[in-house]
Chains A and B, each alone.
Chain A
Amino acid sequence: GEDVEQSLFLSVREGDSSVINCTYTDSSSTYLYWYKQEPGAGLQLLTYIFSNMDMKQDQRLTVLLNKKDKHLSLRIADTQTGDSAIYFCAEKGAGTALIFGKGTTLSVSS
């Protein structure tokens, strides 16, 4: 079955790097996504990676994909207080649905 697991909480200091991890179970997943949700708001697409890629970099964001271990990570360089939010990992398998994890709450202290 499809399931996405994330650690629930991460706390970092401003200026440090943050690494948010995710594991998924559907080996047929074609695309994997990272979304950001601020309190009371919808989901903002941060980045995504196609399953035949190992890494994708987009400004301060780096996505690493280990397809063998079904492990996805999001690294945020030079983390700022404005990065405090809930981060969701999502996979898209053969169907139309995105399957989301429960989200990782990132807390950035100054």
Chain B
Amino acid sequence: ETGVTQSPTHLIKTRGQQVTLRCSSQSGHNTVSWYQQALGQGPQFIFQYYREEENGRGNFPPRFSGLQFPNYSSELNVNALELDDSALYLCASSLFGESDTQYFGPGTRLTVL
């Protein structure tokens, strides 16, 4: 069974740039959720994708957008990067349903200069 994978591991961007982060879900899972974890904080929910559509969104501006592909993998796109976007971005996959237990990938560390 393959776990959740994310790429890249680390990324450095400058303010105003755009970034795309990628996630492959665990085999057998059909739902992907994205979280932002700032230093010293717990993860904050960005959004979830199920059946290639957004299925719930946290308190993040529209410059945070996403996609889910037919193979259930997903992308997180962030436009017009700000310094405060520097964080660990975590992807979690799950099987859609009542329990929806989420399994996390190793994360992508984004630094915005």
Contact surface of A with B, Cβ cutoff 8 Å: 4, 30-31, 33, 35, 40-45, 48, 50, 88, 90, 92, 95-103
Contact A97 to B42, CB < 8 A, known contacts A42-B107, A45-B103: no
In this complex, how many residues of chain B approach chain A with their Cβ under 8 Å: the count is 27
Question: Which residues of chain A have C-beta atoms less than 8 A from B44's C-beta?
Answer: 100
Of A30, A40, A98, chain B has the most CB atoms within 10 Å of the CB of A98
Q: Are the CB atoms of A98 and B106 closer together than 8 Å?
A: no
Q: Are the CB atoms of A41 and B107 closer together than 8 Å?
A: yes
Q: Are the CB atoms of B100 and A101 closer together than 8 Å?
A: no
Contact A35 to B33, CB < 8 A, known contacts A88-B42, A96-B48, A98-B45: no
- Within 8 Å by CB of B104, from A42, A92, A103, lies A42
Contact A96 to B33, CB < 8 A, known contacts A30-B98, A48-B101: yes
- Within 8 Å by CB of B105, from A31, A42, A88, A92, lies A42
B55 within 8 A of A: yes
A42-B4, A43-B90, A48-B99 are known; give 4 further A-B pairs, CB within 8 A: A42-B104, A42-B107, A90-B42, A96-B48
Question: Which residues of chain A have C-beta atoms less than 8 A from B28's C-beta?
Answer: none
Interface of chain B residues 1 through 19 with chain A (CB within 8 A)? 4, 6
Please name the 8 residue pairs, one residue from A and one from B, whose CB atoms are nearest each other, closest first: A100-B42, A96-B56, A97-B45, A43-B104, A42-B106, A42-B104, A96-B48, A42-B107
Say what secondary structure dominates the interface of chain A. Answer: strand
Q: How does the 8 Å CB contact mask read for B10-38 relative to A, with 1 for contact and 0 for none?
A: 00000000000000000000000101000
Q: Are the CB atoms of B106 and A41 closer together than 8 Å?
A: yes
| CB proximity of A63 to chain B, nearest CB, Å | 14
Question: Which residues of chain A have C-beta atoms less than 8 A from B40's C-beta?
Answer: 102
Q: Are the CB atoms of A101 and B48 closer together than 8 Å?
A: no
Q: Are the CB atoms of A92 and B42 closer together than 8 Å?
A: no
Q: Are the CB atoms of B101 and A45 closer together than 8 Å?
A: yes
Question: Which residues of chain B have C-beta atoms less than 8 A from A30's C-beta?
Answer: 98
Contact A96 to B55, CB < 8 A, known contacts A31-B99, A103-B42: yes
